[in-house]
Structure 1
C-alpha cells in the first residue's frame, strides 16, 4: 500500500510538472528562417513588363529590401516582394504542419497609405503542383500591418487562408482547398494588394515558426494511459493481497492499529487533557461539557441543527459472562475505534457509562441522524469482532429542540429503551419537541 501511495504521489507530482511545463514551455519549438541558411531574393513586376524596381542587401543577419513601385498601363498590378527559397526542388519543401504560429519581426516604411504586407506560405503537393508553373504552388496567405519598431508579431497559422483565385484558376478539388503547410518550398513577403505607386522599405529582422514539442491531445493520452496503468496495477496489487491475508489475530491487530491512529488524529484537540475514558480512549462527559453548552446556544439562536445518538451494545452482559471481562474490555475498545472511524471529524463520541455511548452530531437534523445511525448499526452488525461472534447495538435518536441538553439526552435514552424493548438491533427516533 505504501509503495502504491508513493507511486501515486510521484505520478501526481510528475503530472503537475508536465502540465506546468506544457503551459509555459511546450510552445517553444522553433524553426528559424535566416539569410544565412536560405536564399533571400528580391522580385518585382519588371520581369512581367512592369516598371517597378527593387534591391536587396544583407547586414548582421537581416534583409533590407528597397522598392520603387511604378504604375504602368502594360502591367496593372505593380508589386515588390521578398522571396525566400527553402528548397531547390519545389516538390521537396519543409514540413511546418507541426507548427501553429509564425513569428514575424518586420520593420516596414512606405509612402503609400496602404501600410500592409502580404505573407504567402507556398505549399507543394503532387495533386496540384506543376514543376513548370510557379503559380501552381498553393497560396496560404494573410495580409497584416507590421509597423516599424513594433517587434515580433506572432500570427496563428490557422488564420491563413487559401486565395480563392488560386482555387478557381487551378480547378482545385475541395479536399485540397484548405490551408496546408506540410511541404513548403517558398515563403513570400510582398507589398499589399491594390498598391499603385510609392517608395517602400522592408527590413526583415527575423522569421520563426513556433510549435509545440508534443500535441495537447497526445500529452493528455499519455497521462490518461499512465493513470490507467496505475489503477490497473493497484487493482492487481489488491487482488494479490486478498490471497495473502494474515491470520485473523494479526489482521485484527493491524486494523486496531489503523483505527487507533485515526482516533488519535481526530482527538488531537483533547490529547493534553484528562478528558478520556481510560479503558476505551473515548471522550468522557467532562470533555464535552463546554462544547455542549456552545451547541445548545447555537440551536437556541437557530444557527444550526444538533442531534444525538444514544448507543447501547446489545446483550453485552452475556459477552462478559461467556468470554470474560478481558474480552469484554477488548470489545469496548474495538467498538470505540470502529465508531470513531465511521463518523465525521466534527462529530464527538462519548462513553456515557458501561456499554452505553453517545455520538453528538452538529449540523444534523433527526432525518440525517437516522440515516447515519442505520449505517453505524449495520457496520456494527457486520463487523468481524475479536471474539469471532456477531455483535449488535440498539440506537435512540433525538434532535435538540427548545430544551436543555440533559432533556435531549433523556429523550434519546427513551428512544433507546424502545429499540431494546422492540427486539434490539434497531434504530428508534424520539418524538420531536414542540415549540
Structure 2
C-alpha cells in the first residue's frame, strides 16, 4: 500500500538532470569559437589624439594633420637624425585614471591607409605598471610593439597579441629585469602608430580607420577545466547523495521493522508467515487483527512523514454476554454478524472495519481527525441502535474514539480503550472521545 511515486519521480528528475548536463557538456565542446567571443572597437575619433616627429628630440622631420577628425596625417622624413620618425598617438586613459585592460583579448584588428616607400609601419601598445612606470614620464611606459609590412596595410589586417614583443631599445634604456621583460596589456595607456625602421627620406600619408580587439569570453583551457570540475562535483555530490539516501533508507527500514514488530505484538500475532494466515474473520466477514496490520503501519507512517491525521474507534457490543446466556451462542453469533454488516455498510470507503476479538470491533480511520472520527462513531452508534438484528432484538454498542498525537500505536490504543471504558461507565450506548485529545487542537 505504500506509495513509491515520489521516490521514482525524484530518481527520474536526477536522471533528466544528468542527461541535460551531459548534452550541455558535449555542446560546450563543439560550440563555435565566435559564439563565445568578446569584442572591443576603439572609438578612435572620440579620443584625444596627437602627432609628433623627431623634431622633439633634435631631428628635422615634419608631421602635420591632413584631416584631424578623420585621423589622417602626413609625415615628411628628413635627414639630420639617426632614425627619423613620425608618430601618431591616441590617449587611452579614462576618467577613472585607468588605461585599457587588453589582457583578456587575444587578437587585434587594424585598418591603416598608407602611401609611401615600401617599408611598413610600427604599432605600439604602451603599457603602464608600478614595476617600471615612473609617474609623469610617458617614456617609462612599456613599448609593446609589432611591425606591419606594406602587404598588411591598406586592408583590414588581423594578428595576435602574442605577436607583440617588447622594444629592445626600451629594455636596454630602462634596465628592466627579465621578469618584467615580456609584453603586458593590463593597463595600456597609449596606442601609437610610428613610421617603420630604416625608412627613406620622403613623404608618407597615413590614415587610421579602424582598431579593435577580440578574444574568447572563456578560453578553451578554462572551459575544459570547468567541465571537468563540474563533472567531478556532480559525481562527488551524487556519491554523497546516494550514501546519505542509503543511510536514510537503512534507518527507515530498521524503523519500519521495529514498527512492524511492535504492531505484531500489539495485535498478538504469532511469528508464522503472514501470507499463510487469513486476514478475514470467518464469522463476521470483516477484517481480523492481521487484516488491520497494514492499515496501522501505513497510518503511522503517514502521520509521521506527512502529518496526516490518523484515528481509530474501538467498539464493544453492550451486554453481549447476556445475549449468549439468554438466547444461546447461535443468537450471539447472529448479533456479531449483524453488527459487523451494519458497521461495514456505514463507514466511508477509506475506513476499515475489523473484529478485534470477542464482541469487540475496531474501525481504522486514515486521514481523519478527532472531530471526523467522532462523527463516524456517532453514525455507527445510531444505525446499530435503530436496527433490528434478530427477531426484533435491539442491540447497542459503546464507542471509544482516539486520534494519534504521539508516534506510538500502543499509546493510541490505550487512549481509545480508556475512552471505551468511559463510555461503558457512563451507561453504554455512547460515544466518548479520548480525554487526552479532547483539549488538543485538531491536526
Provide TM-score, normalisation by structure 2: 0.49
* Residue 45 (structure 1) aligned with residue 39 (structure 2): no
- Is residue 124–residue 183 contact of structure 1 (8 Å, CA) maintained in 2? yes
- Which of these residues, 107, 121, 124, is aligned with residue 125 of structure 2? 121
State the superposition RMSD in angstroms: 2.8
Cα displacement (A) at 1:150: 5.3
**What SS is found at the alignment partner of 2:185?**
coil
- Is residue 121–residue 149 contact of structure 2 (8 Å, CA) maintained in 1? yes
- Is residue 95–residue 183 contact of structure 1 (8 Å, CA) maintained in 2? yes
Question: For 1:148-187, what aligned pairs fall within 5 Å after superposition?
Answer: 151-187=155-191
Quote the residue 1:227 is aligned against.
231
The number of equivalent residue pairs is: 241
- Is residue 77–residue 196 contact of structure 1 (8 Å, CA) maintained in 2? no
**What SS is found at the alignment partner of 1:18?**
helix
- Is residue 44–residue 211 contact of structure 2 (8 Å, CA) maintained in 1? no
Cα displacement (A) at 1:207: 0.4
Task: Summarize deviations over 1:215-253 as a string: whole Å, max 9, x none.
Answer: 333322322222123212332444356564999xxxxxx
Distance 1:148 1:119 in 2: 12
- Is residue 160–residue 179 contact of structure 1 (8 Å, CA) maintained in 2? yes
Quote the residue 2:86 is aligned against.
80
- Which of these residues, 5, 13, 32, is aligned with residue 41 of structure 2? 32
Distance 2:188 2:44 in 1: 17
Distance 2:151 2:118 in 1: 13
- Summarize the Cα distance change of 1:86–1:108 in structure 2 as closer, same or farther, 3 Å threshold: same
Distance 2:14 2:28 in 1: 21
Task: Summarize deviations over 1:376-407 as a string: whole Å, max 9, x none.
Answer: xxxxxxxxxxxxxxxxxxxxxxxxxxxxxxxx
Quote the residue 1:195 is aligned against.
199
- Summarize the Cα distance change of 1:146–1:12 in structure 2 as closer, same or farther, 3 Å threshold: farther
Cα displacement (A) at 1:105: 1.4
Cα displacement (A) at 1:52: 1.9
Q: Which runs of 5+ in 2 are unaligned?
A: 1-10, 254-443
Cα displacement (A) at 1:134: 2.8
- For the pair shown, the structure with the greater C-alpha radius of gyration is 2
Cα displacement (A) at 1:102: 1.4
Provide TM-score, normalisation by structure 1: 0.50
Distance 1:155 1:148 in 2: 10
Quote the residue 2:104 is aligned against.
98
- Summarize the Cα distance change of 1:157–1:231 in structure 2 as closer, same or farther, 3 Å threshold: same
* Residue 109 (structure 1) aligned with residue 115 (structure 2): yes
- Summarize the Cα distance change of 1:15–1:103 in structure 2 as closer, same or farther, 3 Å threshold: same
Cα displacement (A) at 1:136: 1.5
Question: For 1:233-248, what aligned pairs fall within 5 Å after superposition?
Answer: 233-239=237-243, 242=246, 244=249
- Is residue 106–residue 160 contact of structure 2 (8 Å, CA) maintained in 1? yes
Q: Which runs of 5+ in 1 are unaligned?
A: 248-435
Cα displacement (A) at 1:179: 0.9
Quote the residue 1:67 is aligned against.
75
* Residue 9 (structure 1) aligned with residue 19 (structure 2): yes
